[in-house]
C-alpha cells in the first residue's frame, strides 16, 4: 500500500516560506530521510523516490529550497549559499516534531545542487545526522559558461545580483527517458534561469566543500552517472576521495546521464540507495 503524501509549509530563519512534503512509513520507521532536489527543479519530480523510500520503511520528507518550486523567494536567487542551509535546518526541525529532538536517525539525500547543499551541511552540521546520500553532486559544471557569461556573472554578482540569465541546460542531457525530458520541458515549476549572485555563490560553495571535505565524517554514499553532461563526474569522484568518512561508498553508473534518479534505470539506483540504508538502519 502506498501512503498518501502530506503537504505543509514551514519558514526559514528569514521567514521565507518553504514548501514541504512528507510520507510516513507503514510501520515504525527505520529512519527519516530528507530529500533536497537540484537547481531549478522541485520535489514533485521525485515523488517516485519518496514513495519507494516510504514503502521500504522510511519516513520521508522532501522540500523545495527557496526560489524553487512552490517555496517562496525570488527564482534561483540567493544572497548567500548559507540561505539554503537555513532552509534545510527549518525542515530538519519538522523531523523533530514537538519533542524538539530526533527520536529516530536522520539521513539527508540530495541531488545535484541538493548534493552540494547536503555535502556542505554535513561539513558543519554533521553531528545532527546519521548518514547522507549524494546523487550526482554539483561539484563542478560539466560545461563551463562562456567567457562573456562568466565575466558578466561575476561582475553583476555585486552590482546587479538578481540579473537572470539562461542556464542553457539541454533537457535531453538530463535523462535517456523521453517522457522525463518532455515533462521537464513543459513543467511550469521548473526554472531555467540562473542569477548572477547564485552563480558566484555556487562556485564558492563548490570550492569550499572540496577544500573542507575531510571534515565530513557521517556515513555517506555518493552516486554518479558516468555520462553526466551537466555536472562533472570527475569532480564527484574527487569529492568522494577527500571525504573524511570512514564509512563511505562510491557507485558509478555506466552510460547514465545527470538525473540518475530519473533515468530509465532509476529503479536500480533507488534500490541501491535503499540497500545501502538498510545495512545501516534496518531494525534488528
pLDDT tens readout for residues 29-75 = 999 999 999 999 999 999 999 999 999 999 999 999 999 999 999 99
Confidence of residue 188 (pLDDT cuts 50, 70, 90): very high
User: What pLDDT is stored for residue 208 in this prediction?
Assistant: 97
Among candidate residues 112, 120, 175, 245, the one labeled active-site is 112
Residue 66 resides in a domain: yes
Residue 42 resides in a domain: yes
Residue 1 resides in a domain: no
Residue 275 resides in a domain: yes
Residue 112 annotated among the catalytic residues of the structure: yes
Residue 125 resides in a domain: yes
Query: Is the model's pTM score more than 0.85?
Result: yes
Give the CATH number of the domain where residue 71 resides: 3.40.50.1820
Q: How far apart are CA 45 and CA 158, in angstroms?
A: 33
Q: Which domain holds residue 213?
A: 6-281
Residue 79 resides in a domain: yes
Mean pLDDT of 12-18: 97
Residue 158 annotated among the catalytic residues of the structure: no
Residue 131 resides in a domain: yes
Q: Give the highest mean pLDDT range of 86-100, 146-160, 250-264.
A: 250-264
Among candidate residues 64, 87, 228, 232, the one labeled active-site is 228
Among candidate residues 42, 68, 111, 258, the one labeled active-site is 258
Mean pLDDT of 265-274: 98
Residue 156 resides in a domain: yes
Check pLDDT > 60 for residue 250. Answer: yes
Check pLDDT > 70 for residue 79. Answer: yes
Give the total number of structural domains in the chain.
1
User: What pLDDT is stored for residue 98 in this prediction?
Assistant: 53
The cell for 109 is 539525500
Tens digit of each residue's pLDDT (9 = 90 or more) over 116-131: 999 999 999 988 899 9
Residue 176 annotated among the catalytic residues of the structure: no
Amino acid at each position: 500500500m502506498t501512503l498518501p503524501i502530506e503537504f505543509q509549509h514551514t519558514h526559514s530563519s528569514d521567514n521565507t516560506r518553504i514548501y514541504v512534503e512528507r510520507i510516513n512509513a507503514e510501520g515504525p520507521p527505520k529512519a527519516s530521510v530528507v530529500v533536497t532536489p537540484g537547481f531549478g527543479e522541485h520535489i514533485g519530480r521525485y515523488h517516485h523516490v519518496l514513495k519507494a523510500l516510504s514503502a521500504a520503511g522510511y519516513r520521508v520528507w522532501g522540500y523545495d529550497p527557496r526560489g524553487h518550486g512552490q517555496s517562496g523567494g525570488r527564482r534561483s536567487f540567493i544572497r548567500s549559499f548559507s540561505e539554503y542551509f537555513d532552509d534545510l535546518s527549518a525542515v530538519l526541525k519538522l523531523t523533530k516534531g514537538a519533542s524538539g529532538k530526533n527520536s529516530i536517525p536522520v539521513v539527508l539525500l540530495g541531488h545535484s545542487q541538493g548534493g552540494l547543499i547536503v555535502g556542505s551541511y554535513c561539513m558543519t552540521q554533521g553531528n545532527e545526522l546519521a548518514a547522507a546520500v549524494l546523487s550526482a553532486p554539483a561539484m563542478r559544471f560539466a560545461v563551463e559558461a562562456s567567457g562573456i557569461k562568466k565575466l558578466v556573472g561575476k561582475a553583476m554578482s555585486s552590482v546587479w545580483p538578481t540579473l537572470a540569465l539562461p542556464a542553457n541546460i539541454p533537457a535531453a542531457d538530463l535523462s535517456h527517458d523521453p517522457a522525463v525530458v518532455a515533462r521537464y520541458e513543459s513543467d511550469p515549476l521548473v526554472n531555467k534561469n540562473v542569477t548572477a549572485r547564485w552563480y558566484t555563490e555556487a562556485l564558492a560553495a563548490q570550492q569550499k566543500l572540496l577544500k573542507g571535505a575531510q571534515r565530513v565524517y557521517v556515513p555517506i554514499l555518493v552516486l554518479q552517472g558516468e555520462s553526466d553532461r551537466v555536472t562533472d563526474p570527475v569532480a564527484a569522484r574527487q569529492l568522494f576521495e577527500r571525504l573524511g568518512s570512514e564509512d563511505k561508498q562510491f557507485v558509478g553508473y555506466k552510460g547514465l546521464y545527470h538525473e540518475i534518479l530519473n533515468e530509465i534505470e532509476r529503479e536500480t539506483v533507488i534500490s541501491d540507495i535503499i540497500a545501502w540504508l538498510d545495512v545501516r538502519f534496518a531494525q534488528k
